[in-house]
Amino acid sequence: MSEPATNLENLVAEAVGTASAASSSALNDDSAVAVNSQLNRPLYQSRIKVQPKLVHGTFRRIKWLVMALTLSVYYVTPFIRWNRGPGMPDQAVLLDFPARRFYFFFLEIWPQEFYYVTGLLILAALGLFLATSVAGRVWCGYTCPQTVWTDLFVFVERLFEGDRSARIRLDKEGWSVGKLARKVGKHAVWLLIAILTGGAWVFYFADAPTLAMQMVTFSAPMTAYIFVGLFTATTYTLGGIAREQVCIYMCPWPRIQGAMFDEESLLVSYKDDRGEKRGPHKKGTSWEGRGDCIDCGQCVAACPMGIDIRDGMQLECIQCALCIDACDEIMDKVGRPRGLIGYDTLNNHDRRKAGEPLRFRIIRPRTIVYAAALLIVAAIMVVALASRETLQLAVLRDRNPLFVTLSDGSIRNGYGIKIINKDTAAHVFHVTIEGLEGARLAGLSADEVNPTEIAIGPDALKNVRFYVSLPKDRLSALDHGLAELNFVVTDETGRHTVRETTFRGPDQ
């Protein structure tokens, strides 16, 4: 990939005054106008393809790293195993819809515990707010799947069609075998990535190795193929074709972010106080009376959103920081200090103008509030998870009839009891009552050997009916026809739980 470097050389050559006439045509390709400029907007806008140029530097390196990390998390996670004992799925992260369970490493969430997932989502939202108030749209710029996959698709595009200027030239060119081969190759690899993306998604919903085998032998369930197809289509369209259109027109986050950051948030900005007045610079001429921006357009060429950072803060800017790398490269070449484009705050912009020292106020009311909320929710989650019960008991007393008088004059109440065994082993649960002297517990059917011993398998629940009767001579224990009664369930390991309920009889 020597071509982009050559182009850059040409640019800098121009800037330092050694440009030849032959190389200046390459420069024209690169010094593009911002695609999404405010000028000349028609009623309906055709999309002009954004052709981001490869840059080298700190932020590009960070972005490659983040891409490698997020993609591996996405593809590898479903294949991580986690031993939960016999009869239980051994997939670390699994959304088991048929069995209505969500497994996340040591966690196993039942549908009625969905608030744990709500808690996770709240944590994610607060984390997003905090990050945005500190450093703007870092989520958008580095970790958003739309950004990561688009970056990956552009990488593939560059492999087949070369860097920005080569791609622009190729698109202008007439059709040839070479062009066709490049285009077909690119789309084929895109499609492959899209299929793999959709394919990985379904692995979160079934046993990944099994499903992977089924997928390749064409014996997987139809829904799996349908979802792979769906996610293939969306990945290909959004990452390969729509790209910046998703961020600009579909995503709500750019609209919300305005409320998240303030004058002290670190935002990728062009320091106009330093850069202006901009203009081409010939080597050897003085930097006096002019700005550092040599108007080379490298920041625009690098921008995946097709905007000009020098127009100021814009809705389209995803804060990917690639223009920082682009400009730093130029500043190095022309021998000016780096950071003409860099992470800056609105207040520092004003402080610089006023000649005051710069200040970075990461800790300020806004970030403190977000951080505190984050910590509180996280603490609640930890406490809730630590005190999660693996044995639960629900007792529902019959209300129709409230009670039944038996022939010997005793009073009987019926109870529906639900025992939930969230343990990964089977247990035998012993049901007893306490709190009402003389009351007798009986199972539904008389011929059952031991109706108060209930065997429940791992990770399962059972509904059982019980009758409690109070002899006639003990009816005085009722106060206004009411007495308190506790159901106690104990398993063979001593794990036990108590649920309060009432016993009803005639109001005498």
Partner 1 sequence: MSTQKHTDEISGVETTGHEWDGIRELNNPLPKWWIYTFYVCILWSLVYWVIFPAWPYLSSGGWKHTAGSYGYTQRGEVSAELQKVAEGRAVFMKQIDAMPIEDIAKNDSLMEVALAGGKATFADNCAPCHGSGAAGGNGFPNLNDDDWLWGGKLADIQTTLTHGIRWEADADTRQNMMPRFLDDKMLTREQINDVAEYVLSLSNKADDAAAATRGSEVFAANCVSCHGADAKGNQELGAPNLTDAIWLYGGDKATIVTTLSHGRGGVMPAWGARLPGSTIKELALYVHSLGGGK
Binding site residues, partner 1, CB under 8 A: 38, 41-47, 242, 245, 249, 398-401, 404-409, 412, 414, 444, 467, 472
Instruction: Count the site residues for ligand SF4 by CB under 6 A.
Output: 28
The nearer residue to ligand SF4, 130 or 323, going by C-beta atoms, is 323
The torsion angles phi and psi of 90, rounded to 5 degrees, stand at -105, 25
Alpha-carbon distance 96 to 108, whole Å? 11
Q: Does 206 bind ligand SF4 (CB under 6 A)?
A: no
Alpha-carbon distance 152 to 155, whole Å? 5
The nearer residue to partner 1, 86 or 409, going by C-beta atoms, is 409
The interface partner of residue 357, options being ligand SF4, partner 1, none and the CB cut-off 5 to 8 Å by kind, is: none
Member of 35, 152, 305, 411 binding ligand SF4 (CB under 6 A): 305
The interface partner of residue 436, options being partner 1, ligand SF4, none and the CB cut-off 5 to 8 Å by kind, is: none
User: Would you state the structure tokens that stand for residue 3, as one six-digit string?
Assistant: 């071509």
The interface partner of residue 309, options being partner 1, ligand SF4, none and the CB cut-off 5 to 8 Å by kind, is: ligand SF4
Q: Do residues 119 and 380 make contact, with C-beta atoms less than 8 angstroms apart?
A: yes
Alpha-carbon distance 25 to 29, whole Å? 7
Q: Does 12 bind ligand SF4 (CB under 6 A)?
A: no
Pairing outcome for strands 391-397 and 427-434: unpaired
The nearer residue to partner 1, 4 or 239, going by C-beta atoms, is 239
Q: In angstroms, give the least distance from the CB of 407 to partner 1.
A: 4
Q: In angstroms, give the least distance from the CB of 327 to ligand SF4.
A: 3
Q: Does 224 bind ligand SF4 (CB under 6 A)?
A: no
The nearer residue to partner 1, 273 or 448, going by C-beta atoms, is 448
Residue recorded with tokens 């629940």:
461
The interface partner of residue 508, options being partner 1, ligand SF4, none and the CB cut-off 5 to 8 Å by kind, is: none
The nearer residue to partner 1, 106 or 249, going by C-beta atoms, is 249
Q: Does 266 bind ligand SF4 (CB under 6 A)?
A: no
The nearer residue to partner 1, 332 or 448, going by C-beta atoms, is 448
User: Would you state the structure tokens that stand for residue 416, as one six-digit string?
Assistant: 């529906």
Judge if the upstream peptide bond of residue 365 is cis by omega within 30 degrees of 0: no
3-state secondary structure of 283: coil
The interface partner of residue 412, options being ligand SF4, partner 1, none and the CB cut-off 5 to 8 Å by kind, is: partner 1
Q: What's the DSSP call for residue 329?
A: H
Alpha-carbon distance 5 to 12, whole Å? 10
Q: Does 311 bind ligand SF4 (CB under 6 A)?
A: no
The interface partner of residue 503, options being partner 1, ligand SF4, none and the CB cut-off 5 to 8 Å by kind, is: none
Member of 34, 135, 266, 309 binding ligand SF4 (CB under 6 A): 309
Between residue 323 and residue 342, which ones bind ligand SF4 under the rule CB under 6 A? 323, 326-327, 330, 340-341
Alpha-carbon distance 280 to 201, whole Å? 50
3-state secondary structure of 235: helix
Q: How many residues in the chain?
A: 508
Q: In angstroms, give the least distance from the CB of 44 to partner 1.
A: 5
Member of 71, 212, 266, 317 binding ligand SF4 (CB under 6 A): 317
Closest CA to 151 of 73, 58, 31, 62: 62
Cβ neighbours for 155, distance < 8 A, ≥ 6 positions apart: none
Q: Does 293 bind ligand SF4 (CB under 6 A)?
A: yes
Member of 147, 269, 319, 421 binding ligand SF4 (CB under 6 A): 319
HSE-up (13 A, CA, CB side) for residue 174:
0
Q: Does 296 bind ligand SF4 (CB under 6 A)?
A: yes
Alpha-carbon distance 291 to 340, whole Å? 10
Alpha-carbon distance 250 to 493, whole Å? 55
Helices 145-161/58-76 angle, 10° precision: 110
The nearer residue to ligand SF4, 228 or 293, going by C-beta atoms, is 293
CA-based max dimension of the chain: 115
Judge if the upstream peptide bond of residue 53 is cis by omega within 30 degrees of 0: no
The nearer residue to ligand SF4, 135 or 391, going by C-beta atoms, is 135
Q: In angstroms, give the least distance from the CB of 465 to partner 1.
A: 9
Q: Does 298 bind ligand SF4 (CB under 6 A)?
A: yes
Q: Does 318 bind ligand SF4 (CB under 6 A)?
A: yes
Annotate 241-278 with b (16+ C-beta within 10 A) or e (fewer): ebbbebbbeeeebbeebeebbeebbbbbbbbbebbeeb
The interface partner of residue 414, options being ligand SF4, partner 1, none and the CB cut-off 5 to 8 Å by kind, is: partner 1
Q: In angstroms, give the least distance from the CB of 133 to ligand SF4.
A: 18
Partners of 432 in beta bridges:
488
Find the part of the chain contacting ligand SF4 (CB under 6 A) among 38-46, 145-153, 317-325, 442-450.
Answer: 317-325
Q: Which amino acid makes up residue 277?
A: K
The torsion angles phi and psi of 387, rounded to 5 degrees, stand at -100, 15
The interface partner of residue 317, options being ligand SF4, partner 1, none and the CB cut-off 5 to 8 Å by kind, is: ligand SF4
Give me the residues that bind ligand SF4 (CB under 6 A), please. 268, 270, 275, 293-299, 302-303, 305, 307, 309-310, 317-323, 326-327, 330, 340-341
